[in-house]
Amino acid sequence: MYGKFEAYAKTISLLTILTLILVGIGYAIGGISIAIYFLFLGLILNLIMYFVSDKIVLASSGARIVNDKEAPRLHKIVGDLSNKIGISKPKVAIVNAPQPNAFATGRGPSHAVVAATTGLLAMMNDDEIEAVMAHELGHVINRDVLVSTIAAGIATAITYIAYFALFFLIGGRNNNNGAVLGLAAVILAPFTASLIQLAISRTREYLADYTSAKITMNPQALISALTKIENMIRRGAKLDASQTTASLWIANPFKHDLSSDRIAELFSTHPSTENRIKRLKEIAREMGIYID
């Protein structure tokens, strides 16, 4: 069964690998001091993003904060879930788009925003909306914005160091085998860091699915919602938002090829819907619920 322990263990392992890559290439080109310098630079840039990301995400997704009179159904579902979890009710936003989708942003339970598209509200029943919003609140209580900020900070530092090392190696006159290997390493490092960052994103999606199932005690509702969302994305339902927000949505709104192929999934911000449903069925069986 895929639970919190497995998700946290995998996230910590991936973050550790990112850090080791960072320290390794920094040490290789100029000692630990360079690695630490770029690490701090990357973390500072992403710390700034951490505090302003909610405003940027809302603007780039076209989301609008709404009150309970404008969206009473969504406000009630979010409010009931927040009371059940024991957190402050986050702000609620609507995105005017036919594609059913949703996201959460904000740096923690006290500074959170959950958003749903008009398409999601139009085609989902209350149980499905509850399951989707529980997934998004799972991101909030699991501090996924903080986790993704740390991962992005380390990955950014790796990229900066790699560019610096690439310039150093290309500009140098030493063309021996060691330099060639070093050149290959600094080219591969950002690519590897990107793959690890994507793996962390997928791990947190699985954890949010798990959290939704546990909060609602209704994993079938999330399975149904994910299936509807995937079908609409495959049909080309539109969502006018920046592609930089892809990892935030419950399903990647810009990827019409939602393959469960293992190689394709390595380059994806989200696990395939097929694999998510398999995990949810495993969780359901652990809960004593049997889904065909």
Known catalytic residues?
A: 136
Nearest-CA neighbor of 209 among 18, 60, 40, 6?
6
Tell me the C-alpha to C-alpha distance, in Å, between residue 284 and each of 12, 149, 289: 26, 31, 5
- Beta carbons within 10 angstroms of residue 207's beta carbon: 24
Q: List the one residue out of 167, 94, 135, 124 whose CA is nearest residue 279.
A: 135
Q: Give the whole-angstrom CA distance, residue 146 versus residue 106.
A: 9
At 198, give phi and psi (nearest 5°): -65, -40
Concatenated DSSP letters of the chain: ---HHHHHHHHHHHHHHHHHHHHHHHHHHH-HHHHHHHHHHHHHHHHHHHHHHHHHHHHHHTEEE--TTTSHHHHHHHHHHHHHHTSPPPEEEEE--SS--EEEEESSGGGEEEEEEHHHHHH--HHHHHHHHHHHHHHHHTTHHHHHHHHHHHHHHHHHHHHHHHHHHHHSS--SHHHHHHHHHHHHHHHHHHHHHHHHHHHHHHHHHHHHHHHHS-HHHHHHHHHHHHHHHHTT----S-GGGGGGBSS-TT-------HHHHHT-SS--HHHHHHHHHHHHHHTT----
